[in-house]
Structure 1
Amino acid sequence: MSVTKKNVAVLGLGAMGTALADALLAAGHRVTVWNRTAARADGPVERGARRANTAAEAVAAAEVVIVCILDYADVGALLADRAGGEVLQGRAVVNLTNGSPEEARSMAERVSALGGAYLDGGIMAVPEMIGRPEALVLYSGERAAFEAYRGVLDGFARSVYLGADAGLAPLNDLALLSGMYGMFGGFAHAAALVRSAGGPVAEFTTGLLVPWLQAMCGGLPAMAAEIDSGDYGATGSSLGMQVAHDSIGALSRAQGVSDELFAPVFALMERRVAGGHGDEGFAGVVEELMRAR
């Protein structure tokens, strides 16, 4: 299916911004680029982009403005001060800068007040993945803008729209990263245990750990359903049984491996059991996390 070519501005040409500009060029869009350090525009310009001397010039040349810079404070200054607020009238701003849900909501109000449509985005990819099928970008904000420019956005990655609340994209972005770092933390602890005994970590990972984790991931949808329903009846190993012995912590200490990655998880499980929920499955631990609200 052919995509209607658009006039697109890319503000910010770090590694990710450059990858976004290149993907737009590859899709045949008319791309104008701007970066505070002008030399960073050289590569995209050589590949067919138009160089803007100011942010305002880049915005004026575009229907949709992609922003990918360091933080939201800089985005606000860039759009309202450098670009000049009046330039945003009738344009869509797609902010792919990392931030918090509250920052996204505040930016949505600011762009709307300046006459623009706002989408916030969470890029679930590294620059090398942009334009490839495995890349994913989450969006939230004005649905009309998402639908109007989805053909542009799909050139980066698979586009997923989460809702009108601009804060949904950064919230889900950080939730996904939380799951990723939890997995990485578990891997690091497992690798340290294997290494402490002189074992080959690569062989353990490919032969044992990855297949095991893939099997365990199959149980996540059922756990998610328990969390949504609030019914945590154990279908396998109960929490009471799981915390009867701190076997992982004991082994870690015996092997001279720190248990600081695993200990907080075990403490949450113990607290849930102490509260009278030892017959539940692991998903009930979510309730202990929610108590911090």
Structure 2
Amino acid sequence: MHNPHAGQSPVTVIGLGLMGQALAGTFLGNGHPTTVWNRSAEKADELVARGATLAASVRDAVEASPLVIVCVSDYAAAHGLLAPLGDALAGRVLVNLTSGTSEQARESAEWAAGEGVTYLDGAIMAIPPVIGTADAFLLYSGPQDAYDAHEPTLKALGAGTTYLGADHGLASLYDVALLGIMWGTLNSFLHGAALVGTAKVDATVFAPFANRWIEAVTGFVSAYAGQIDEGAYPALDATIDTHVATMDHLIHESESGGVNTELPRLVKALADRAVAEGRGGDGYAAMIEQFRRPSA
């Protein structure tokens, strides 16, 4: 019988938190010989039962595979584990899926280059349960030839796996920017749920309306992106002046219902600043100018 996973390339996963376990489990499920290492070895028990190899040391883990994935608590932890192993990593591809900043990613790339290590930085835009599914997408940046060589293996982790470019900082930069969108959306939903809750409307009743509106807002994102790139902000839907008037309604409604007003007041303060700078007649995309400058 033909085995579709026969001959899959070996991979090592260092770090077996919830995400690391999901990564290693997905590689195993796709037939990759998988070596794992974690400071607390018992976290590997289930993976070993499924066929993974538990390395006795980080060095042994690195030397087991041409592709080494590290996913630990932070960049300092990753560097602490890998800094003594430059000789073992030489000739392999190191992929860092640890969360951090673009500055940390570029510093790690400089260290790797000094050690002769091929380095890719990555970001996981998914929660552990969806790793390996169509709902997971991972972002990578660094040398394209290294990514291309291991793309079939890396794509096992998520159908939306994407290479962003040679700048090692891009994956982490996208990561934090996308997380900002997530928190902005979730905080706004929670504020809205608190607001309609003053009329005894359950959040589960409100949620479908919130989701429908979030889907509509994606259209604004697509339209505004082109305006931002062109540096022109026509008021094709509404002016910032119109938005400001509606923001007042949200603040008043929140105050009347005894709901926290900090988030809508922050939004209005930014819009008021744009109006003061003569942007009131522009479309909302002109607000990009407020976000481009450093905080006072």
- Which TM-score band applies after superposition, normalised by the shorter structure? over 0.9
Tell me what 1:272 maps to. Answer: 274
The alignment yields a C-alpha RMSD, in angstroms, of: 1.4
CA distance in 2, matches of 1:2, 1:272: 57
Tell me what 1:61 maps to. Answer: 64
CA distance in 2, matches of 1:142, 1:4: 25
CA distance in 2, matches of 1:134, 1:104: 25
CA distance in 1, matches of 2:215, 2:260: 26
Instruction: Kindly provide the amino acid, as one letter, of the partner of residue 259 in structure 1.
Output: T
- 1:189 and 1:262 in contact (8 A); partners too: no
The reply to whether residue 92 of structure 1 matches residue 118 of structure 2 is no
State the secondary structure of the residue aligned to 1:70: coil
CA distance in 2, matches of 1:42, 1:148: 30
CA distance in 2, matches of 1:46, 1:3: 20
The reply to whether residue 20 of structure 1 matches residue 54 of structure 2 is no
Tell me what 1:6 maps to. Answer: 9
Percent of aligned positions that are identical: 43
- 1:3 and 1:151 in contact (8 A); partners too: no
CA distance in 2, matches of 1:2, 1:139: 24
CA distance in 2, matches of 1:12, 1:37: 9
Q: How many residues are aligned here? A: 290
How big is the shift at 1:127? 0.4
The reply to whether residue 204 of structure 1 matches residue 184 of structure 2 is no
Compare 62-71 and 109-118 and name the one that shifted more. 109-118
Tell me what 1:76 maps to. Answer: 79
Tell me what 1:186 maps to. Answer: 188
State the secondary structure of the residue aligned to 2:161: strand
TM-score by length of 2: 0.95
State the secondary structure of the residue aligned to 2:123: strand
How big is the shift at 1:2? 6.8
Instruction: Kindly provide the amino acid, as one letter, of the partner of residue 186 in structure 1.
Output: S
- 1:8 and 1:31 in contact (8 A); partners too: yes
State the secondary structure of the residue aligned to 2:262: coil
- Cα 1:2–1:18 shift into 2, 3 Å: closer
How big is the shift at 1:4? 5.2
CA distance in 1, matches of 2:52, 2:115: 27
- 2:86 and 2:117 in contact (8 A); partners too: no
Compare 161-170 and 242-251 and name the one that shifted more. 242-251
How big is the shift at 1:22? 0.6
CA distance in 2, matches of 1:32, 1:213: 41
Tell me what 2:133 maps to. Answer: 132
CA distance in 2, matches of 1:213, 1:159: 24
State the secondary structure of the residue aligned to 2:238: coil
Compare 242-251 and 30-39 and name the one that shifted more. 242-251
CA distance in 2, matches of 1:118, 1:138: 14
- 2:5 and 2:31 in contact (8 A); partners too: no
CA distance in 2, matches of 1:3, 1:185: 46
Gaps of 5+ in 1: none
State the secondary structure of the residue aligned to 2:291: helix
Instruction: Kindly provide the amino acid, as one letter, of the partner of residue 51 in structure 1.
Output: L
Structure 1 stretches of 4+ moved >6 Å: none
CA distance in 2, matches of 1:176, 1:101: 13
Query: What pairs with 1:96-245 in structure 2 (closer than 5 Å)?
Result: 96-157=97-158, 158-206=160-208, 208-244=209-245
How big is the shift at 1:132? 0.6
How big is the shift at 1:213? 2.1
State the secondary structure of the residue aligned to 1:20: helix
Partner deviation per Cα, 1:256-286 (whole Å, 9 max, x = no partner): 0011122111111111011111111111111
Tell me what 1:254 maps to. Answer: 256
CA distance in 1, matches of 2:154, 2:17: 18
How big is the shift at 1:177? 0.8
How big is the shift at 1:209? 2.0
CA distance in 2, matches of 1:183, 1:39: 38
CA distance in 1, matches of 2:199, 2:215: 25
